[in-house]
A and B are shown apart, each in its own frame.
Chain A
Amino acid sequence: MVNGIDGKIGMNKISVRSKLSSESFITLSMLVVLVVLFGLACLFVPRFFLLQNIINIITSSWYIIVLGIGVTFLLVTGNFDLSVGGIVAMSSVLVFYFTQTNSGARSALDNGLGLPYGVAIVLALVAALAIGAINAFFVTRLKIASILVTLGTMSITRGIAQIVTLGSQRNVNIPGLFGAVGNFIIVSSIKLSVIIMIVLVIIAAIVEKMTVFGRRTYLIGANTQAARLSGVKVEKHVTILYLTSALLAGMVGILLSSEYLSGNSNRGMGFEFDALVIVLLGGTSIIGGFGTVTGTVVGALIISVVTASATGLLLRPEWQFLLKGVIVFIAIMAQRFALDRRQI
Protein backbone atom coordinates (compact mmCIF):
# COMPACT_ATOMS: atom_id res chain seq x y z
CA MET A 1 0.00 0.00 0.00
CA VAL A 2 2.80 2.39 -0.79
CA ASN A 3 1.90 5.52 -2.58
CA GLY A 4 2.81 5.68 -6.20
CA ILE A 5 4.43 2.31 -6.58
CA ASP A 6 1.29 0.26 -7.07
CA GLY A 7 1.00 0.78 -10.77
CA LYS A 8 4.63 0.21 -11.53
CA ILE A 9 5.19 -3.15 -9.88
CA GLY A 10 2.34 -5.01 -11.50
CA MET A 11 2.63 -6.51 -14.91
CA ASN A 12 -1.10 -6.31 -15.29
CA LYS A 13 -3.16 -3.77 -17.04
CA ILE A 14 -3.25 -1.67 -13.92
CA SER A 15 -3.22 1.73 -15.46
CA VAL A 16 -2.12 5.14 -14.38
CA ARG A 17 -3.77 4.82 -11.00
CA SER A 18 -0.33 4.83 -9.53
CA LYS A 19 -0.91 8.25 -8.11
CA LEU A 20 -3.85 7.07 -6.07
CA SER A 21 -3.19 5.33 -2.80
CA SER A 22 -5.15 2.21 -2.05
CA GLU A 23 -7.08 4.02 0.60
CA SER A 24 -8.21 6.75 -1.72
CA PHE A 25 -9.09 4.13 -4.28
CA ILE A 26 -11.39 2.37 -1.87
CA THR A 27 -12.96 5.60 -0.71
CA LEU A 28 -13.53 6.61 -4.27
CA SER A 29 -15.06 3.25 -5.13
CA MET A 30 -17.41 3.51 -2.19
CA LEU A 31 -18.32 6.99 -3.31
CA VAL A 32 -19.21 5.56 -6.69
CA VAL A 33 -21.33 2.93 -4.94
CA LEU A 34 -23.05 5.69 -3.00
CA VAL A 35 -23.84 7.65 -6.13
CA VAL A 36 -25.10 4.55 -7.91
CA LEU A 37 -27.31 3.58 -4.98
CA PHE A 38 -28.61 7.10 -4.75
CA GLY A 39 -29.38 7.08 -8.46
CA LEU A 40 -31.22 3.77 -8.16
CA ALA A 41 -33.16 5.10 -5.20
CA CYS A 42 -34.21 8.17 -7.13
CA LEU A 43 -35.49 5.94 -9.88
CA PHE A 44 -37.37 3.45 -7.80
CA VAL A 45 -38.38 5.19 -4.64
CA PRO A 46 -41.19 7.69 -4.93
CA ARG A 47 -40.30 11.26 -4.04
CA PHE A 48 -36.70 10.46 -3.31
CA PHE A 49 -35.08 13.20 -5.29
CA LEU A 50 -36.12 16.03 -3.01
CA LEU A 51 -33.74 18.48 -1.43
CA GLN A 52 -35.31 17.91 1.97
CA ASN A 53 -34.81 14.21 1.61
CA ILE A 54 -31.18 14.59 0.69
CA ILE A 55 -30.58 16.90 3.61
CA ASN A 56 -32.28 14.40 5.87
CA ILE A 57 -30.04 11.62 4.65
CA ILE A 58 -26.99 13.59 5.66
CA THR A 59 -28.28 14.99 8.92
CA SER A 60 -29.91 11.83 10.21
CA SER A 61 -26.61 10.03 10.35
CA TRP A 62 -24.72 12.63 12.34
CA TYR A 63 -24.48 10.66 15.54
CA ILE A 64 -23.37 7.45 13.94
CA ILE A 65 -20.66 9.31 12.04
CA VAL A 66 -19.32 10.87 15.23
CA LEU A 67 -19.18 7.44 16.82
CA GLY A 68 -17.68 6.12 13.64
CA ILE A 69 -14.72 8.47 13.96
CA GLY A 70 -13.62 6.87 17.20
CA VAL A 71 -14.27 3.38 15.95
CA THR A 72 -12.36 4.02 12.71
CA PHE A 73 -9.19 5.05 14.49
CA LEU A 74 -9.41 2.10 16.84
CA LEU A 75 -10.13 -0.40 14.10
CA VAL A 76 -7.15 0.91 12.15
CA THR A 77 -5.00 -0.13 15.09
CA GLY A 78 -6.72 -3.49 15.12
CA ASN A 79 -8.91 -2.89 18.15
CA PHE A 80 -12.64 -2.98 18.60
CA ASP A 81 -14.84 -0.72 20.65
CA LEU A 82 -18.24 -2.25 21.15
CA SER A 83 -19.02 -0.11 24.15
CA VAL A 84 -19.90 3.11 22.32
CA GLY A 85 -23.63 2.38 22.22
CA GLY A 86 -23.67 1.71 25.92
CA ILE A 87 -21.67 4.86 26.65
CA VAL A 88 -24.18 6.90 24.66
CA ALA A 89 -26.98 5.50 26.82
CA MET A 90 -25.03 5.96 30.03
CA SER A 91 -23.96 9.55 29.45
CA SER A 92 -27.39 10.44 28.13
CA VAL A 93 -29.05 9.11 31.27
CA LEU A 94 -26.44 10.50 33.63
CA VAL A 95 -26.54 14.05 32.27
CA PHE A 96 -30.31 13.97 32.59
CA TYR A 97 -30.22 12.56 36.09
CA PHE A 98 -27.64 15.08 37.26
CA THR A 99 -29.65 18.01 35.92
CA GLN A 100 -33.05 16.82 37.01
CA THR A 101 -34.36 18.96 39.81
CA ASN A 102 -35.13 17.42 43.12
CA SER A 103 -38.76 18.26 43.41
CA GLY A 104 -39.46 15.87 46.22
CA ALA A 105 -42.02 14.08 44.07
CA ARG A 106 -43.04 10.59 44.99
CA SER A 107 -41.63 8.62 42.10
CA ALA A 108 -37.93 8.06 42.18
CA LEU A 109 -37.78 8.72 38.49
CA ASP A 110 -38.90 12.28 38.97
CA ASN A 111 -36.04 13.32 41.16
CA GLY A 112 -32.53 14.07 40.15
CA LEU A 113 -29.52 15.69 41.67
CA GLY A 114 -30.37 19.19 40.56
CA LEU A 115 -26.87 20.17 39.55
CA PRO A 116 -26.19 23.04 37.17
CA TYR A 117 -26.31 21.98 33.53
CA GLY A 118 -22.63 22.67 32.88
CA VAL A 119 -21.54 20.61 35.86
CA ALA A 120 -23.79 17.78 34.78
CA ILE A 121 -22.24 17.76 31.32
CA VAL A 122 -18.74 17.66 32.73
CA LEU A 123 -19.60 14.85 35.12
CA ALA A 124 -21.25 12.80 32.40
CA LEU A 125 -18.20 13.23 30.18
CA VAL A 126 -15.96 12.21 33.05
CA ALA A 127 -18.02 9.06 33.45
CA ALA A 128 -17.62 8.33 29.74
CA LEU A 129 -13.88 8.91 29.98
CA ALA A 130 -13.75 6.54 32.92
CA ILE A 131 -15.23 3.81 30.77
CA GLY A 132 -12.74 4.60 28.05
CA ALA A 133 -9.98 4.31 30.62
CA ILE A 134 -11.30 0.95 31.75
CA ASN A 135 -11.38 -0.24 28.15
CA ALA A 136 -7.84 0.99 27.59
CA PHE A 137 -6.57 -0.57 30.79
CA PHE A 138 -7.87 -4.02 30.02
CA VAL A 139 -6.79 -3.92 26.41
CA THR A 140 -3.35 -2.40 26.74
CA ARG A 141 -2.19 -3.46 30.19
CA LEU A 142 -3.83 -6.81 30.65
CA LYS A 143 -3.67 -7.49 26.94
CA ILE A 144 -7.14 -8.93 26.80
CA ALA A 145 -8.88 -9.21 23.44
CA SER A 146 -10.59 -5.88 22.80
CA ILE A 147 -13.74 -7.47 21.52
CA LEU A 148 -14.30 -9.28 24.79
CA VAL A 149 -13.48 -6.31 27.00
CA THR A 150 -15.68 -3.90 25.11
CA LEU A 151 -18.45 -6.48 24.99
CA GLY A 152 -18.28 -6.41 28.76
CA THR A 153 -18.18 -2.62 29.10
CA MET A 154 -21.04 -2.45 26.62
CA SER A 155 -23.16 -4.43 29.08
CA ILE A 156 -21.84 -2.52 32.06
CA THR A 157 -22.60 0.92 30.64
CA ARG A 158 -26.04 -0.07 29.44
CA GLY A 159 -26.58 -1.63 32.84
CA ILE A 160 -25.68 1.63 34.57
CA ALA A 161 -28.15 3.45 32.35
CA GLN A 162 -30.81 0.91 33.21
CA ILE A 163 -30.13 1.10 36.92
CA VAL A 164 -30.35 4.89 37.02
CA THR A 165 -33.62 4.85 35.09
CA LEU A 166 -34.99 1.77 36.82
CA GLY A 167 -35.17 0.09 33.45
CA SER A 168 -37.03 2.74 31.51
CA GLN A 169 -36.31 6.42 31.24
CA ARG A 170 -36.32 9.76 32.99
CA ASN A 171 -38.09 12.58 31.29
CA VAL A 172 -39.43 15.15 33.72
CA ASN A 173 -38.28 18.03 35.85
CA ILE A 174 -35.69 19.50 33.57
CA PRO A 175 -34.74 23.14 33.30
CA GLY A 176 -35.50 24.73 29.94
CA LEU A 177 -31.83 25.20 29.14
CA PHE A 178 -31.43 21.45 28.80
CA GLY A 179 -33.08 21.22 25.43
CA ALA A 180 -31.18 24.14 23.97
CA VAL A 181 -28.07 22.50 22.62
CA GLY A 182 -29.61 19.46 21.01
CA ASN A 183 -32.40 21.32 19.33
CA PHE A 184 -30.49 24.38 18.24
CA ILE A 185 -31.28 24.91 14.61
CA ILE A 186 -28.79 26.63 12.34
CA VAL A 187 -30.46 26.57 8.98
CA SER A 188 -33.91 25.15 8.22
CA SER A 189 -33.64 21.60 9.51
CA ILE A 190 -29.92 21.45 10.16
CA LYS A 191 -29.17 21.26 13.81
CA LEU A 192 -26.11 22.25 15.75
CA SER A 193 -25.24 18.59 16.13
CA VAL A 194 -24.70 18.29 12.39
CA ILE A 195 -22.27 21.20 12.42
CA ILE A 196 -20.44 19.57 15.30
CA MET A 197 -20.23 16.37 13.29
CA ILE A 198 -18.81 18.18 10.27
CA VAL A 199 -16.21 19.94 12.40
CA LEU A 200 -15.20 16.69 14.06
CA VAL A 201 -14.91 14.89 10.75
CA ILE A 202 -12.67 17.62 9.37
CA ILE A 203 -10.49 17.53 12.48
CA ALA A 204 -10.32 13.76 12.30
CA ALA A 205 -9.37 13.77 8.64
CA ILE A 206 -6.61 16.30 9.31
CA VAL A 207 -5.30 14.28 12.23
CA GLU A 208 -5.41 11.11 10.23
CA LYS A 209 -3.54 12.38 7.22
CA MET A 210 -1.31 15.14 8.42
CA THR A 211 -0.34 14.62 12.00
CA VAL A 212 2.29 12.37 13.47
CA PHE A 213 -0.34 10.96 15.78
CA GLY A 214 -2.46 9.98 12.82
CA ARG A 215 0.33 8.32 10.90
CA ARG A 216 1.46 6.51 14.01
CA THR A 217 -2.05 5.07 14.31
CA TYR A 218 -1.66 3.48 10.91
CA LEU A 219 1.78 2.18 11.75
CA ILE A 220 0.50 0.52 14.90
CA GLY A 221 -2.20 -1.14 12.90
CA ALA A 222 0.03 -2.26 10.07
CA ASN A 223 2.79 -3.69 12.22
CA THR A 224 2.59 -3.28 15.96
CA GLN A 225 5.98 -4.75 16.65
CA ALA A 226 7.68 -2.47 14.18
CA ALA A 227 5.88 0.49 15.71
CA ARG A 228 7.00 -0.50 19.16
CA LEU A 229 10.58 -0.97 18.06
CA SER A 230 10.48 2.40 16.34
CA GLY A 231 9.79 4.02 19.65
CA VAL A 232 6.05 4.49 19.37
CA LYS A 233 4.44 4.20 22.78
CA VAL A 234 1.76 1.83 21.59
CA GLU A 235 -0.02 1.45 24.91
CA LYS A 236 -0.29 5.17 25.45
CA HIS A 237 -1.43 5.71 21.89
CA VAL A 238 -4.18 3.12 22.06
CA THR A 239 -5.24 4.47 25.43
CA ILE A 240 -5.70 7.91 23.93
CA LEU A 241 -7.77 6.37 21.15
CA TYR A 242 -10.06 4.60 23.59
CA LEU A 243 -10.46 7.75 25.67
CA THR A 244 -11.31 9.72 22.53
CA SER A 245 -13.85 7.17 21.37
CA ALA A 246 -15.48 7.19 24.79
CA LEU A 247 -15.47 10.98 24.88
CA LEU A 248 -17.13 11.16 21.47
CA ALA A 249 -19.75 8.67 22.57
CA GLY A 250 -20.33 10.71 25.70
CA MET A 251 -20.84 13.85 23.65
CA VAL A 252 -23.31 12.06 21.42
CA GLY A 253 -25.23 10.88 24.46
CA ILE A 254 -25.43 14.38 25.92
CA LEU A 255 -26.57 15.87 22.63
CA LEU A 256 -29.17 13.16 22.12
CA SER A 257 -30.60 13.52 25.59
CA SER A 258 -30.86 17.24 24.96
CA GLU A 259 -32.56 16.69 21.63
CA TYR A 260 -35.10 14.25 22.98
CA LEU A 261 -35.39 15.88 26.40
CA SER A 262 -35.10 12.52 28.12
CA GLY A 263 -32.62 10.09 29.55
CA ASN A 264 -33.59 6.79 28.01
CA SER A 265 -31.78 3.60 28.85
CA ASN A 266 -32.59 2.19 25.44
CA ARG A 267 -30.90 4.95 23.58
CA GLY A 268 -27.98 3.92 21.48
CA MET A 269 -29.17 0.35 21.21
CA GLY A 270 -27.32 -1.17 18.33
CA PHE A 271 -25.19 1.90 17.69
CA GLU A 272 -22.00 -0.03 18.23
CA PHE A 273 -22.83 -2.41 15.43
CA ASP A 274 -24.06 0.34 13.15
CA ALA A 275 -20.81 2.19 13.74
CA LEU A 276 -18.83 -0.93 12.94
CA VAL A 277 -20.89 -1.42 9.80
CA ILE A 278 -20.21 2.04 8.43
CA VAL A 279 -16.53 1.82 9.29
CA LEU A 280 -16.25 -1.47 7.43
CA LEU A 281 -18.22 -0.10 4.51
CA GLY A 282 -15.86 2.82 4.38
CA GLY A 283 -13.00 0.51 3.63
CA THR A 284 -11.35 0.14 7.00
CA SER A 285 -9.87 -3.27 7.17
CA ILE A 286 -10.10 -5.38 10.27
CA ILE A 287 -6.52 -6.44 9.75
CA GLY A 288 -5.58 -2.92 10.68
CA GLY A 289 -3.40 -0.27 9.18
CA PHE A 290 -5.91 0.64 6.55
CA GLY A 291 -8.94 2.87 6.53
CA THR A 292 -10.09 6.46 6.48
CA VAL A 293 -12.58 8.66 8.23
CA THR A 294 -13.82 9.96 4.89
CA GLY A 295 -14.55 6.39 3.93
CA THR A 296 -16.52 5.99 7.13
CA VAL A 297 -18.60 9.05 6.25
CA VAL A 298 -19.30 7.60 2.81
CA GLY A 299 -20.24 4.32 4.45
CA ALA A 300 -22.65 6.11 6.76
CA LEU A 301 -24.26 7.87 3.81
CA ILE A 302 -24.65 4.57 2.00
CA ILE A 303 -26.47 3.07 4.96
CA SER A 304 -28.53 6.23 5.25
CA VAL A 305 -29.58 6.07 1.61
CA VAL A 306 -30.49 2.42 1.99
CA THR A 307 -32.58 2.95 5.11
CA ALA A 308 -34.27 5.97 3.58
CA SER A 309 -35.07 3.90 0.49
CA ALA A 310 -36.42 1.09 2.61
CA THR A 311 -38.68 3.51 4.43
CA GLY A 312 -39.68 5.18 1.21
CA LEU A 313 -40.58 1.85 -0.31
CA LEU A 314 -42.65 1.21 2.78
CA LEU A 315 -40.67 -1.86 3.68
CA ARG A 316 -40.93 -3.05 7.24
CA PRO A 317 -38.21 -1.69 9.52
CA GLU A 318 -37.11 -5.26 10.18
CA TRP A 319 -35.66 -5.38 6.70
CA GLN A 320 -32.90 -3.11 7.89
CA PHE A 321 -31.17 -5.91 9.78
CA LEU A 322 -31.00 -7.96 6.67
CA LEU A 323 -30.04 -5.13 4.40
CA LYS A 324 -27.20 -3.98 6.63
CA GLY A 325 -25.80 -7.47 6.86
CA VAL A 326 -26.00 -8.07 3.13
CA ILE A 327 -24.51 -4.71 2.24
CA VAL A 328 -21.55 -5.08 4.56
CA PHE A 329 -20.98 -8.53 3.15
CA ILE A 330 -21.02 -7.32 -0.43
CA ALA A 331 -18.84 -4.36 0.45
CA ILE A 332 -16.18 -6.48 2.12
CA MET A 333 -16.07 -8.93 -0.76
CA ALA A 334 -15.95 -6.13 -3.29
CA GLN A 335 -13.20 -4.29 -1.45
CA ARG A 336 -11.10 -7.38 -1.19
CA PHE A 337 -11.69 -8.18 -4.83
CA ALA A 338 -10.76 -4.68 -5.91
CA LEU A 339 -7.64 -4.59 -3.79
CA ASP A 340 -6.46 -7.99 -4.94
CA ARG A 341 -6.84 -7.02 -8.56
CA ARG A 342 -4.99 -3.83 -7.95
CA GLN A 343 -1.88 -5.10 -6.33
CA ILE A 344 -0.62 -8.00 -8.27
Chain B
Amino acid sequence: MSLPLFVIFAALLIVSALGVILQRNPVRSALSLVVTLFLLAVVFIFLEAHLVALLQIVVYAGAIMVLFLFVIMLLNLQSEPVEVGRVGLRFAAAAAGSLFALQLIWVARAKGFLAGGMNDGLPADFGSTTVLGEKLFTQYLLPFEITSVLLLVAIIGAVVLAKRQVN
Protein backbone atom coordinates (compact mmCIF):
# COMPACT_ATOMS: atom_id res chain seq x y z
CA MET B 1 0.00 0.00 0.00
CA SER B 2 1.49 3.31 -0.95
CA LEU B 3 2.58 5.97 1.48
CA PRO B 4 0.72 9.00 0.04
CA LEU B 5 -2.55 7.10 0.17
CA PHE B 6 -1.92 6.19 3.79
CA VAL B 7 -1.12 9.81 4.66
CA ILE B 8 -4.35 10.99 3.05
CA PHE B 9 -6.44 8.49 4.98
CA ALA B 10 -4.58 9.19 8.22
CA ALA B 11 -5.25 12.92 7.86
CA LEU B 12 -8.94 12.26 7.15
CA LEU B 13 -9.12 9.93 10.16
CA ILE B 14 -7.63 12.55 12.48
CA VAL B 15 -9.97 15.22 11.17
CA SER B 16 -13.07 13.08 11.66
CA ALA B 17 -11.92 11.92 15.11
CA LEU B 18 -11.47 15.55 16.13
CA GLY B 19 -14.93 16.13 14.76
CA VAL B 20 -16.30 13.53 17.17
CA ILE B 21 -14.98 15.25 20.27
CA LEU B 22 -15.20 18.89 19.25
CA GLN B 23 -18.70 19.26 17.85
CA ARG B 24 -21.39 20.44 20.21
CA ASN B 25 -24.32 18.76 18.47
CA PRO B 26 -24.36 15.07 19.50
CA VAL B 27 -25.89 13.96 16.20
CA ARG B 28 -22.96 15.50 14.33
CA SER B 29 -20.55 13.75 16.69
CA ALA B 30 -22.25 10.43 15.95
CA LEU B 31 -22.04 11.01 12.21
CA SER B 32 -18.38 11.96 12.51
CA LEU B 33 -17.81 8.69 14.33
CA VAL B 34 -19.52 6.81 11.49
CA VAL B 35 -17.15 8.46 9.02
CA THR B 36 -14.21 7.50 11.25
CA LEU B 37 -15.36 3.89 11.32
CA PHE B 38 -15.67 3.75 7.55
CA LEU B 39 -12.20 5.22 7.08
CA LEU B 40 -10.83 2.70 9.57
CA ALA B 41 -12.46 -0.10 7.58
CA VAL B 42 -10.57 1.13 4.52
CA VAL B 43 -7.32 1.10 6.48
CA PHE B 44 -8.12 -2.46 7.60
CA ILE B 45 -8.43 -3.49 3.97
CA PHE B 46 -5.03 -1.92 3.34
CA LEU B 47 -3.72 -4.19 6.10
CA GLU B 48 -5.16 -7.32 4.46
CA ALA B 49 -7.85 -7.78 7.10
CA HIS B 50 -10.80 -8.24 4.82
CA LEU B 51 -13.27 -9.95 7.14
CA VAL B 52 -12.47 -7.55 9.98
CA ALA B 53 -13.11 -4.59 7.67
CA LEU B 54 -16.47 -6.04 6.67
CA LEU B 55 -17.40 -6.67 10.28
CA GLN B 56 -16.36 -3.13 11.15
CA ILE B 57 -18.84 -1.75 8.65
CA VAL B 58 -21.66 -4.17 9.34
CA VAL B 59 -21.38 -4.42 13.13
CA TYR B 60 -19.74 -1.21 14.28
CA ALA B 61 -21.01 1.36 11.80
CA GLY B 62 -24.17 -0.49 10.94
CA ALA B 63 -25.45 -1.64 14.32
CA ILE B 64 -23.66 0.07 17.20
CA MET B 65 -23.74 3.55 15.68
CA VAL B 66 -27.37 3.10 14.66
CA LEU B 67 -28.07 2.24 18.31
CA PHE B 68 -26.30 5.42 19.37
CA LEU B 69 -28.33 7.49 16.95
CA PHE B 70 -31.57 5.87 18.11
CA VAL B 71 -30.78 6.78 21.71
CA ILE B 72 -29.82 10.36 20.77
CA MET B 73 -33.07 10.76 18.89
CA LEU B 74 -35.08 9.04 21.62
CA LEU B 75 -33.72 11.33 24.33
CA ASN B 76 -34.02 14.33 21.99
CA LEU B 77 -30.62 15.67 22.95
CA GLN B 78 -29.87 19.28 22.20
CA SER B 79 -26.53 20.84 21.42
CA GLU B 80 -24.30 21.51 24.34
CA PRO B 81 -24.23 25.16 25.39
CA VAL B 82 -20.96 27.01 25.08
CA GLU B 83 -19.52 27.15 28.55
CA VAL B 84 -18.63 30.64 29.62
CA GLY B 85 -15.36 31.50 31.29
CA ARG B 86 -13.61 28.28 30.40
CA VAL B 87 -11.50 29.28 27.41
CA GLY B 88 -8.32 28.50 29.31
CA LEU B 89 -9.64 25.01 29.94
CA ARG B 90 -9.85 24.31 26.21
CA PHE B 91 -6.21 25.20 25.66
CA ALA B 92 -5.23 23.12 28.66
CA ALA B 93 -7.18 20.15 27.28
CA ALA B 94 -5.56 20.50 23.87
CA ALA B 95 -2.11 20.77 25.45
CA ALA B 96 -2.68 17.74 27.69
CA GLY B 97 -4.01 15.69 24.77
CA SER B 98 -1.05 16.59 22.58
CA LEU B 99 1.34 15.72 25.41
CA PHE B 100 -0.34 12.35 25.84
CA ALA B 101 -0.18 11.61 22.11
CA LEU B 102 3.48 12.66 21.96
CA GLN B 103 4.26 10.38 24.87
CA LEU B 104 2.69 7.41 23.12
CA ILE B 105 4.41 8.25 19.84
CA TRP B 106 7.77 8.53 21.59
CA VAL B 107 7.34 5.08 23.08
CA ALA B 108 6.25 3.70 19.69
CA ARG B 109 9.36 5.00 17.97
CA ALA B 110 11.84 4.22 20.70
CA LYS B 111 11.75 0.45 20.61
CA GLY B 112 13.33 -1.79 18.05
CA PHE B 113 10.51 -4.23 17.50
CA LEU B 114 9.52 -2.64 14.25
CA ALA B 115 11.88 -4.60 12.05
CA GLY B 116 10.37 -5.57 8.76
CA GLY B 117 7.50 -7.85 8.01
CA MET B 118 5.19 -5.31 6.43
CA ASN B 119 6.52 -5.76 2.93
CA ASP B 120 6.89 -9.53 2.93
CA GLY B 121 4.57 -11.68 0.94
CA LEU B 122 1.61 -13.06 2.78
CA PRO B 123 -0.18 -16.37 2.33
CA ALA B 124 -2.90 -15.87 -0.22
CA ASP B 125 -5.76 -16.40 2.19
CA PHE B 126 -4.50 -14.09 4.96
CA GLY B 127 -7.39 -12.18 6.46
CA SER B 128 -10.01 -14.26 4.74
CA THR B 129 -13.09 -15.69 6.39
CA THR B 130 -11.80 -19.24 6.12
CA VAL B 131 -8.62 -18.69 8.07
CA LEU B 132 -10.27 -16.47 10.66
CA GLY B 133 -13.06 -18.98 11.17
CA GLU B 134 -10.57 -21.79 11.45
CA LYS B 135 -8.73 -20.00 14.24
CA LEU B 136 -11.94 -18.96 15.92
CA PHE B 137 -13.35 -22.47 16.12
CA THR B 138 -10.19 -24.34 17.03
CA GLN B 139 -7.70 -22.26 18.95
CA TYR B 140 -10.07 -19.61 20.32
CA LEU B 141 -13.13 -21.78 20.89
CA LEU B 142 -13.40 -21.06 24.61
CA PRO B 143 -13.41 -17.23 24.26
CA PHE B 144 -15.92 -17.65 21.46
CA GLU B 145 -18.36 -19.56 23.64
CA ILE B 146 -17.82 -17.21 26.56
CA THR B 147 -18.54 -14.28 24.25
CA SER B 148 -21.88 -15.81 23.35
CA VAL B 149 -22.75 -16.00 27.05
CA LEU B 150 -21.61 -12.38 27.40
CA LEU B 151 -23.95 -11.32 24.61
CA LEU B 152 -26.84 -13.14 26.25
CA VAL B 153 -26.15 -11.40 29.55
CA ALA B 154 -25.92 -8.04 27.75
CA ILE B 155 -29.27 -8.58 26.05
CA ILE B 156 -30.98 -9.49 29.31
CA GLY B 157 -29.34 -6.59 31.11
CA ALA B 158 -30.26 -4.05 28.45
CA VAL B 159 -33.89 -5.19 28.39
CA VAL B 160 -34.19 -5.12 32.17
CA LEU B 161 -32.52 -1.70 32.49
CA ALA B 162 -34.47 0.04 29.78
CA LYS B 163 -37.84 -1.44 30.58
CA ARG B 164 -40.41 1.01 31.76
CA GLN B 165 -41.22 0.30 35.40
CA VAL B 166 -44.89 -0.56 35.82
CA ASN B 167 -45.93 0.38 39.35
Q: Do A and B bind each other?
A: no
